[in-house]
Every structure is written in structure tokens, then in C-alpha cells.
Structure 1
Amino acid sequence: MKKVFFAIAIAATIFTGCSKDDDDEITRVPVEGEISGNITASKTLAYGNYTLKGMVKIQSGVTLTIEKGSTITADKTSGETGLVILNGGKLIAEGSADEPIVFTEKSKVAGSWAGIIMYGDAPIVNSATASAPQTAKSEDGLDLSYGGANESHNGGTLRYVRVEYAGQVITTNQKEHNGFSFYSVGSGTTLENLVSYKGNDDGFEFYGGTVSGKNLISYGNADDSFDWQDGWRGQANTNWFAYQTGIANYGVEVEAKSVNNAFWPKVTNITLKRAANTGTEAASEKQYDAFQFKAQGNGDFSNIVIDGYTSVETGFGSAVQIRDLATYTDQVLTGKVKLTNVKTSNTPVLFLSQNSGGVFTVNAASFGANWSTSTTATGAALTGGKWATVDGVNLLANL
């Protein structure tokens, strides 16, 4: 097992006196260091600038704490790089609005590293016949097992954390990374004020679990802004903002591994915006709906603003796409897909049926009371600061 090496070049903090109002002003000088190998003992990284090398894994029983204002920089020339919190390990990364903790990559090229990956043992459901608790193997190339019965699993606290240029895809559908990947993470974990910026895959992906995310920004990610599977069931999600620009697929992709679950996640205050002339990853796929439901995906969503999901070709592009007959029959018609207080603009097609598995027509009547429009929906409510600013660009300017 490798040891973690922290090369500290200068002192963590320097205190200088100041007579102003008899108070002391504190000048913090960043340390310089390197993070690599497995983290096998609990550590605190002082405020500083760190180079991340390789797939660094926080082991079970170990806590890594990162002080606010720190910057961690990956370098794709050193190979596959990411920060992995294994089940039983914890990451405490508590920044602030003006001193966020930033994970970035040296070249500033989308898809250059693996982002933050967290594992837990909260419940997943990916088979209608398997006995509980169910497990699965990760799709990140680490081939790690996730799933369990611990609904309150605690993987730590991530607050005011930004991940940039992640979403490394090594083998499609077999070895893919996102900005943030949460594998069966539990409700004891805190996820607040997080940004996934210009990655090459999904901004945020939940693989089952019970964790919730508050104040999330997915900006300029090339696949889906928000995505989940394996029966994710977070209940306290609020203030999600997606801005899709350049290349992007769905605003929100919802699936449940074809399992007709009796539960669903809940998200309030959502803004999904797609810039003009935004393309898709593959010309043959044309995936540019605000919401896509497939493989028995469901959910309760309210106070939603949708803008810019314009149909550029008949049969593609809408506010809400239902991909297959089973999802339409088992989820939409039974009230397990709820979209209420929805305001749309520059999105002429509200509903789209892809007719996989059989012919069906989805419309407002399909949802009954579980669909409602509004002219006063406000969507996400987020407060700016350095946490939501990259290279002088305010990520909330289009909110």
C-alpha cells in the first residue's frame, strides 16, 4: 500500500499584527504540497495549493480534512487522477462563499481527470428479483462494490466545493468519470453549494443511495447536468441550476435500472437552461431534453424553470421526454412522475414520446394533477460569490 506524501514547502499560516481597531488581521500564506497514494491515517491539509497525482483513495476509518480556500490541481500528464472516498472513509471539505475549495486540472481541458468519487453502503435497487440489501459494481473502472442497508451512511461534508474539467471517459460505459460521482452515499453526508464546471461527462451522478444535494450548479458539462440510477431516493434536494453550453445532452436524466420502485427522489427549485446552438455529444443521439425519464425512472419535482430546449429536428428536443412504454405505464400513469409549477420558455415542445417498447402518446393529461404549469415559477435561488465564479465569469449570470 502506498503512503501519502505531502511535500510542504512553506508554513501553513503567518500571523501579522495590526493596530486597526485593536484587532489583529490575519494574513494566510498558502502551503505548497502534493497528494498521492492511499490515505491511511486521518490528516488535515492546511490552506494551500496542492498537486493531486494518481487515484488517491481515502481508506475506511480515515478522515481527510481540507481547509477552506485551498486549491487542488490534477495533471493529466501524470495519468488517471482523482480523489476517491472509500466506504467508511470521510472527506471534510468546508469552504465558504468567498473561500471555496477548488479542484481543477492544469491544462483546463474538459475530461482531464476523474473528479471526486464517493462510496457508501446506503441502499440501492437495481434488480426487481434480488434480495435486499443489493449491491453492484462501479462503472468508473475501479470495479468496487457499492450498496447496502445503511441509509444514514456518512461520507463527510462537502460545502462550497468546485470541481473543474473532470469527467474523464476512458472506455465508454465501462470506465467513465463525472464531476461528482456518488455511489450509494447516505443521508448522513452533507452536500451543499457544489459546482461541477466544464466536465466531459455528467456534472453530478447518483448511483442509488439516500444522500441529498442543496445548492448545486452544473455548468457546461458535456453529457447530462444531473443523472441518477440504481433507485436513488434523496428527499431534501433543493436549488439545482444547470446551464448547458457548447456540447450537452439532457438537463436531468432519470432512470432506475428498469425496476418499478415504490419510492422516488424529491427535488424542489430547479432551473434548467440551454444556450443557443448547444450541440450534443453524438449527432446520432440528439439528446437535448430538459428531463428524460427511462427504465422506470421517477421523481417529484417542483418549482421548475426550463429555458432553451428548442427542437432543431422533428422528434427530438422537449421539456419532458418519456423514453419507453414501461416507464410511461408504470411511472407516469400511476403518479410516480410529478412535475408541478413548471415555467417554460424557448421550449416549444412540452412532451415527447420516444416509443421504445411500444407506441404511446405522452401529454399533460397523462400526468393528471401531477403536471402543472405556472408563469410565476422561480426555479433555483442561489447566492453568488467566488464559489460560483471561474476565471472572472459569474456562473449565475444566466440564472
Structure 2
Amino acid sequence: MKKINFLPIIVLAAMFAVACSGDDDSSSQPATCSDGIQNGDETGVDCGGSCEPCEAGSEVTKSGILEEDETWTADKIYFLEGKVVVGEDVTLTIEPGTIIKGKPGQESLASALVVDQGGKLMAEGTADNPIIFTAESDNIQPGELYGTNLDQNDVGLWGGVIVLGKAPISAPGDNETAQIEGIPASESFGQYGGTDPEDNSGVIKYISIRHGGITIGQDNEINGLTLGGVGRGTTIENVEIVANQDDGIEWFGGTVNVTNALVWAQGDDGFDTDQGWSGTMDNGIVIMSSISGTALEMDGPEGTTGADMTHTLKNITLIGAGTTSGYADLRDGLLVNLENVLAYGFGAEATVKINGADSATELANDNITFLDWQIVLPENVNWENIFAGDFEPGDDTKFYNNAEAIDAADATSGANASVFDWTYAASMGVEF
């Protein structure tokens, strides 16, 4: 919550008289605001002729639940102390070029921006002025696109961005809602899921989320961008996740569509899907590092399975780091269409894996489909070993009939990389 200091009424009246009294023509002169303390700056500031309290200083610390609409502006740096929650019926607007820095803190003290059910985040950056979420230790300043003291190896320095909506999910026991990972059930926020596939959590455009994924418990970190039960009324496009300790983007059910997303140097998976997400990820790039897990990890519904729980990833480029990380791990009876995928740079043991008998069943029932896959094989790798895991004899043709091994120069599948020229990854000279 924003801390506001209240002075006795008599003192306030005296200050008002000092600031605004005088000859009649003095009213046209800028007044000096004596209450410039909202953001911890106790010096007077020019309020442009107004005697209303005004914010001062270039740094603002936020914590707790936002209970009124707010606008964060590009002339300040905003620090997240613990969870900063956009509450129900509240809209947080973030202007293009604004920098938000998460403070460090383990477990329940981990910092994150959380958009609760019924709240809205209007974060509309531009290609020239993206909105940047990063760590407190990042030396980036207003007007800059990146700092100089951190790189893609600096992971887990704060939490991340969590958006929670009211769209359907497939949770254990067919529960309509669930508590998002990373937020204890004892908190008043953190629920996601519902019955409204058109639910609207706001607009996210041209945002870069860097150096997050701090550990909150054993095998439990915050994703760069977590989407829990987010509805298709929400707009998400042109998003970058860099150096997140856990996954880049993870969907927990919901119906939201995402367009133009890049993940670089994540500690675990690039794109991760769960709980019957039924939207589309169109035009995405995953750039692995030596510590990355699998480029695509996809889990099925955790409750009742339905045909309306199918999701689609199309126009995707997966770039390995020369390690044994996997192309895709398809698990728990998921329903997915994987279209126009290019993969290269992976290690000799990387596979497209059908994981578990329930996934084998969905493959046999044509609920896992492949179209226009191209893979540049590492040296001395047998093409017949790329598709692996649990499946019935002959069902491997569902992959091989729609995929080919190619030379790098012959690639025609994958993402349109030109739309990512605005990203931090592009600024650092990463090739994709």
C-alpha cells in the first residue's frame, strides 16, 4: 500500500495559506507543493500551479494490494516489495517505457506483480519504448533499454508477473478454481479459474521480463509470465522473457491467445502448458541456454478431459544450446496441435517425447497432431530416434509423416523472427 503521512489540520491550513496566498496575480505563478512526500521525497516540488499533494522523486516503492486505479509513468522507476496485487475492479495502467524492478526476497517474501481475478493490467508498451520488468540490482535507468551489469546468466533475482483470470481450467477433482503456484493459499489473492472464457484481464504489449523466477520453495519457482485461467478477452502480444530461473511462459488452463513471444536463457522450460489451456500461441521463439530444461513442456488436463481443451502452438522456432535438452515433452494426456515448427542447435539426446500411456492414447486418437516440423539434426544422430517415448507401434508415423530432417540452409518452417527486433535479446546480438 502507498504510505501517506497526514499532518494535523491546523498545520495543513497554515501551509495552504503560505503556498497559495498573496496578491491576485500570484495565482498565475507555479505554487510550491509542501506535501511532496508520497514517494519519500520531503523536498518541495513544482506542482504546476496546483496546491494538491503531488508525487516527488524518481523512485517509487509499491507493496500490498492496490485498491484504486493507478498509472505508473516512464519518468520513474517502480520497485516491487513483496507481492504487489492489482485487486478486483482495479486497473493498473503502465505507460510505455516504464521500468519496474522487483526486490529480492525468498519464499513468501518473493516480489511479483500479481493481477488478481477481476483486476486489469493495461501495460501497452511500444517497440521503441517497451515496458521493462527486471531485478532491483539491474542498473538500467529511465530512458534506457538495458543496463550494463547483468546478462542472461543472472537468473532468479526476483519473482515475475502473474495474471489470474476467470476462464475455465481443468483442475484436480474438476474444481472450478485453484490456487496459483507461488502464492500461499493463506493469502487473500491467488485464485484463478471460473466459467467465463471471454474474461478480460487487460492488455499486455511490448513488455520485457528479465532475471526473475526466484525460488519460493523446493522445486517451486515463479515463471517469467504466469497465466492462470486467463480469458480470451485479454490481449497479450509482443512479450519477451529473459533469464528466468523457471519457465518462460506457463499457461494454467484458460482461453487466452498469445502472439509474438520470445523466451531466452530460461532455467527450465520455454513454453509450458497445463490444465487444459485452450488458446493459441502464434509466432514464438525459445532460445535455450546450457541450464535450460525442455523447449516445450506440455501437460494435459488434471480433471475431466474435453475436446474444447485443445491448444495450438504454431510458427515456432526452437534454438538449442548444444546440450541434451529436449525439443518437446508431451505429458499427462494433453490435447495439442503443433504446427510449423523449426528446431536446431540441440544436443544428440534431444527428442520429441510422448510421455505416459495417457499421452499415447491421445496420440492414437489424433488429439496430438504435428504439421510441418523441420529439425536440423546434430551430427551422428539417427532421425528414427528423434520421436521417442510411449506410443503404440506404428503411431510414430503421425510425427514422421509430418516432419523432416533438413540442412539449416533449407529451413522454411518456424517463427517470423523480424517482429522481435525490439527485444533485449536482439540488442545483445542473439541470432534467431
Give TM-score, length-normalised by structure 1: 0.82
**Is 1:104 the counterpart of 2:134 in the alignment?**
yes
* Aligned pairs for 1:1-399 within 5 A: 2-3=1-2, 7=39, 31-47=58-74, 48-76=76-104, 79-107=109-137, 108=150, 109-127=154-172, 130=174, 134-143=176-185, 144-173=190-219, 175-235=220-280, 237-257=281-301, 260-263=305-308, 264-276=310-322, 278=323, 288-311=325-348, 316-318=349-351, 320-329=352-361, 331-347=362-378, 348=381, 349=383, 351-355=386-390, 360=392, 364-367=396-399, 371-373=402-404, 375-383=410-418, 387-389=422-424, 392-394=427-429, 397-399=430-432
Summarize deviations over 1:18-76 as a string: whole Å, max 9, x none. Answer: xxxxxxxxxxxx94322222111001112132222111001000000011011111221
Does structure 2 retain, via aligned residues, the 8 Å contact 1:111–1:168? yes
Instruction: Give the equivalent residue in structure 2 for 1:23.
Output: none
Q: Distance in 2 between matches of 1:96 and 1:55?
A: 26
Q: Report deviation, 1:364.
A: 3.6
CA deviation after TM superposition for structure 1 residue 393, in Å? 0.2
Which structure's CA Rg is the greater one?
2
Distance 1:219 1:146, change over 3 A: same
Distance 1:255 1:119 in 2: 19
Q: Distance in 1 between matches of 2:118 and 2:282?
A: 26
**1:302-352 per-position Cα deviation (integer Å, ceiling 9, x unaligned):** 1110112322xxxx421x1011122112x1111111111111103535534
Letter in 1 for 2:226: S
Residue aligned with 1:181, SS: strand
Secondary structure of the structure 2 residue equivalent to 1:296: coil
Decide whether aligned partners of structure 1 residues 150 and 322 sit closer, same or farther in structure 2, where only a CA change above 3 A counts. same
Matched residues in 1 for 2:105 and 2:118: separation? 30
Is the CA contact 1:332–1:367 (under 8 Å) kept in the aligned structure 2?
Answer: no
- Alpha-carbon deviation of 1:8? 7.7
Deviation at 1:360, TM superposition (A): 4.6
Deviation of 1:382 after TM superposition, in Å, equals 3.2
**Partner residue of 2:7?**
none
What per-residue deviation string (whole Å, max 9, x for no partner) do you get for residues 266-311 of structure 1? Answer: 12210001112x47xxxxxxxx211110101121121110112322
Counterpart secondary structure, 1:111: coil
Local SS of the residue matching 2:373: strand
Quote the Cα distance in structure 1 between the aligned partners of 2:266 and 2:418: 21
How has the CA–CA distance of structure 1 residues 309 and 378 changed in structure 2, closer, same or farther, with 3 Å as cutoff? same
Change (3 A) 1:333 1:151: same
Q: Which amino acid aligns with 1:317?
A: A
Aligned length: 358
Give the match's secondary structure for 1:159: strand
CA contact (8 A) 1:292 1:321 kept: yes
Cα distance change on mapping 1:57 and 1:241 into 2, 3 Å:
same
CA distance in 2, matches of 1:362, 1:183: 36
Amino acid at match of 2:350: G
SS at match of 1:383: helix
Partners of 1:336 and 1:115 in 2: how far apart? 32
- C-alpha contact (below 8 Å) 2:105/2:111 kept by paired residues: no
Task: Provide, for residues 94-152 of structure 1, a one-character-per-residue CA deviation record: whole Å limited to 9, x for no partner.
Answer: 1111111000003353112110001111001134x63xx72222221333322111101
Going from structure 1 to structure 2, the CA distance change for 1:11 and 1:302 (only over 3 Å counts) comes to farther
Match of 2:54 in 1: none
Distance in 1 (alpha carbons) for counterparts of 2:218 and 2:195: 30
TM, length-normalised to structure 2: 0.76
Query: What is aligned with 2:10?
Result: none
After TM superposition, give the deviation of residue 168 of structure 1 in Å. 1.6
Q: Which amino acid aligns with 1:342?
A: W
Amino acid at match of 2:431: N
Asked if the contact 1:167–1:178 (Cα under 8 Å) also holds between the matched residues in 2, the reply is: yes
Aligned-partner Cα distance in 2 for 1:13–1:207: 45
Q: Is the 8 A contact 1:168 1:176 kept in 2?
A: yes
Report the identity percentage. Answer: 27
Alpha-carbon distance change, 386 to 365 in structure 1, aligned in 2, over 3 angstroms: closer
Q: Distance in 1 between matches of 2:131 and 2:113?
A: 14
C-alpha deviation, 1:367, in angstroms: 4.8
Contact preservation (8 Å) 1:341, 1:377: no
1:25 aligned partner: none
